Amino acid sequence: MLDFRSKIKFICSAITRSRPLYAQLMITDNCNLSCKMCGQAALRGSRSAELNRGYNRLAELTLEELEVVATNLRKVGSPLLVITGGEPFLRKDLEDIVRIFRKQGIQVRIQSNGQLINEDRIDALLSLGVSEYSISLDTLDFDKQDQINGRTGSGLQAIKALAILSRVLPRRANFTLVNTVVSPLNLHDLLALIKFVTRIGFFHSLIPAHVRDNTPVGTLGVGGKTLSSHDHNFKFITFCQLDSIFQQVLEMKKSGYHIHNSERFLRDSLSFLKGEKVVQRCLAPDVYFHIRYDGSVTACLEQSSGVGLNIANDDFWERYKRKSEYRKKLKTVATSCHGCMYACYAELNYFCTNLDVFIRRGIDDFRKRNYQRKVYSYSEMLSIVKECCE
């Protein structure tokens, strides 16, 4: 969880919107999986097979450039940085990257598919102050998970990663997440997965699958590559069972299961998955923004087309200052988008604009501060998987 100083910054930013609550940094575009619901995997095209065999560096920021990024991010005043990819653990210098941002007083969280996590690296990152992660897991049916990820053994490896995190990370007030993309492929697996995540003491975030109908691969809004899938197997055609499952999810949240999503987000996600228009105001770049692997700044992860602003440049801060032409351009990009239901953006929008969500988040945060989980080994987690699926 955020330390006290960062938490004050976070709350003040939510109220005044004078600085972003957080920034995402894509330290690599490379990934060791080819997840079917990920538009980036499709865009890698012919590179996918090569990437699955190992690490292939692609125009990524050097440590020296990341020093400039960290300095500029401190000037922006964002209290939290989420490191993502691609797969962040593909960078052998991940620990050095984290060290650079921690030196600037920026708290770091890491999103990962868990495939390359080992105890030594988690220990090293914990010593640098990284105590919370977001791990991808879409089902406890590991054959199905492997099909979704495009790699044999990926489901079991995610469980191994969670067991390592369970053993190494602080047991008290730890807010490690399991991220699940909701689609027709795993709808009937959600309840068991929620039970499992709650049993092992972590928290669960559900994200509706995003499927583009007519948008050409690599374009969205004003242009740029899209994170959304073009695989229509991830799109719901009938909704009766969808309504029933989501009603049970809402009831599980109310009864104390570790579902991180707000009730507002869950209800809007249901509408989104049914193809209904969900109205919300995108608050980029005032509340969040995205940094691509080459340092270019975009409104969010969905938008790869930049506005000529690069945070790895020394003159970034002068260009970025409030009401600059670049901030206006980023807002134009955000308002031209047809909207999304990615939890990292939508939940922040609700947090900043909906008093009920703001208050409930505060209550949940207070409760989590006093929560202490148990430690489970890999074999124990597999036993829990079996129990939750029965």
Residues 306-333 have pLDDT tens digits of 688 899 999 998 888 766 777 788 888 7
DSSP secondary-structure letter at 286? Answer: T
* Residue 161 to residue 129: CA distance in whole angstroms: 18
pLDDT confidence tier of residue 4, bands split at 50, 70 and 90: low
Task: Supply 27's token pair.
Answer: 């330290």
pLDDT (tens digit per residue) in 217-262 = 433 333 344 567 667 788 888 898 999 999 999 999 999 999 999 9
DSSP secondary-structure letter at 229? Answer: B
The pLDDT, as a whole number, for residue 329 is 82
CB 123 within 8 A of CB 150: no
> Domain count of the chain?
1
Least confident residue range of 61-65, 93-97, 125-129, 290-294: 290-294
CB 265 within 8 A of CB 272: no
* Residue 216 to residue 304: CA distance in whole angstroms: 14
CATH number of the domain encompassing residue 378: 3.20.20.70
Q: Is the pTM of this model over 0.85?
A: yes
pLDDT (tens digit per residue) in 6-35 = 667 667 766 777 778 889 999 998 999 989
- Domain span including residue 339: 4-389
| SS3 of residue 114 by DSSP | coil
The pLDDT, as a whole number, for residue 230 is 67
Determine the distance from the C-alpha atom of residue 40 to the mean position of all C-alpha atoms in its chain, rounded to a whole number. 14
